[in-house]
Amino acid sequence: MEIPTWPRVPCPEPAFARTLVLGWFLLQVAGASGTSEVVVAYNLTWKSTNFKTILEWEPKPINHVYTVQISPRLGNWKSKCFYTKDTECDLTDEIVNDVTQTYQARVLSYPADANDYSGEPPFTNSPEFTPYMDTKLGQPTIQSYKQVGTKLNVTIQDARTLVRRNGTFLSLRDVFGKNLSYTLYYWKASSTGKKTAKTNTNEFLIDVDEGENYCFSVQAVIPSRKANQKSTESSIACTSHEKGVLLVIVIVALVAVILIIILSVTLYKCRKVRAGHSGKESSPLHAA
């Protein structure tokens, strides 16, 4: 990845006000002359799910390009997505090493022909972003389920995240520990009355009525959060005794067929033996 030449990167603190004024000034000039040389970004928005984190903004550039910078609180700015014509930038790599840190990003605007640009580019700051608190919980996936007698066992897949520790990717459970819980919504297939169960593991073991079919879905929850507490619900799964009954019928049928075959063979052998003894009547099978 190329590093921009130094004059293009603004010196942080004292330059802020000047840059803003310059940006405003350039906007005015652009508006007046109609050449829209440099337009500042607006509506900067963090889109983050299970720590996959993208900064989006507007507008689509015409005669300019953007560079994004990100920094932890009190840290140094790091540039990403150099001179891009996109209106989004993937910042996942910059936040996964410390997801409890609070970050700020900014989007700098340069004229499309950035090579001759020597001024300080106008920019817009993003809202602050703390991955551990702000990343949305992805839709969970039901990994497996089993209904045996009066027990229903539902296991939720532990989603892998892009957060790394000691060179390995952590799962959602690794990152959030007991702060992460799941809610199970379940109901008899024959009715609509829903019940709920909670767990702070990835497994539910609930009491159900024997012989009834159940449908259910799960939702990830971080109760200690004020915002983005819940994921969307997983897709719905249902247990099916019809399948069980069908399996029993198939097994019974198979056993019956095997019994008939054994019986036929035995019968055939008996006849052969009998035929051999009498010496006169030959079995129809021998004749054939």
Q: Which stretch binds ligand NAG (CB under 6 A): 104-112, 170-178, 239-247, 273-281?
A: 170-178
What mask of x and - would describe binding to ligand NAG in positions 138 to 167, judged by CB under 6 A? ------x-x------x-x---------xx-
By beta-carbon proximity to ligand NAG, the closer residue of 115 and 143 is: 143
By beta-carbon proximity to ligand NAG, the closer residue of 97 and 224 is: 224
Q: How far is the CB of 20 from ligand NAG (least distance, A)?
A: 18
By beta-carbon proximity to ligand NAG, the closer residue of 46 and 83 is: 46
User: Cβ–Cβ contacts within 10 Å for residue 156, how many?
Assistant: 24
Helix (H), strand (E) at residue 58: strand 52-58
Which residue reads 């984190």 in tokens? 53
Site for ligand NAG in 15-54 (CB under 6 A): 43
- Count of positions on this chain that bind ligand NAG (CB under 6 A): 15
Q: Which residue type sits at 215?
A: C
- Start-to-end C-alpha separation, the chain: 84
Q: Which stretch binds ligand NAG (CB under 6 A): 79-87, 171-179, 232-240, 250-258?
A: 171-179
Contacts for 178 with CB less than 8 Å, ≥ 6 apart:
200
User: Cβ–Cβ contacts within 10 Å for residue 72, how many?
Assistant: 15
- Alpha helices in the chain, H assignment, sequence order: 12-33, 92-95, 131-134, 172-176, 241-278, 284-287
Six token digits for residue 280:
């006169």
**In this structure, are residues 88 and 48 in contact, taking their beta carbons and an 8 Å threshold?**
no
Six token digits for residue 120:
């300080």
What mask of x and - would describe binding to ligand NAG in positions 179 to 218, judged by CB under 6 A? x-----------------------x-x-------------
Using DSSP, state whether 192 is helix, strand or coil. coil
Q: Which stretch binds ligand NAG (CB under 6 A): 73-81, 174-182, 238-246, 247-255?
A: 174-182
Burial bucket for residue 287 (CB in 10 Å: 0-12, 13-18, 19+): exposed
By beta-carbon proximity to ligand NAG, the closer residue of 144 and 196 is: 144
User: Does 229 sit near ligand NAG (CB under 6 A)?
Assistant: no
By beta-carbon proximity to ligand NAG, the closer residue of 202 and 219 is: 202
User: Cβ–Cβ contacts within 10 Å for residue 278, how many?
Assistant: 8
By beta-carbon proximity to ligand NAG, the closer residue of 36 and 79 is: 36
Q: Contact with ligand NAG (CB under 6 A): which of 5, 35, 115, 224? A: 224
Proportion of the chain in helix, strand, coil states, percent, rounded to 5: 30, 35, 35
Q: How far is the CB of 154 from ligand NAG (least distance, A)?
A: 8
Q: Contact with ligand NAG (CB under 6 A): which of 34, 177, 193, 284? A: 177
What mask of x and - would describe binding to ligand NAG in positions 93 to 132, judged by CB under 6 A? ----------------------------------------
Tell whether the torsion through CA atoms of 223, 225, 231 and 233 is positive or negative: positive
Binding region for ligand NAG (CB under 6 A): 43, 58, 144, 146, 153, 155, 165-166, 176-179, 203, 205, 224
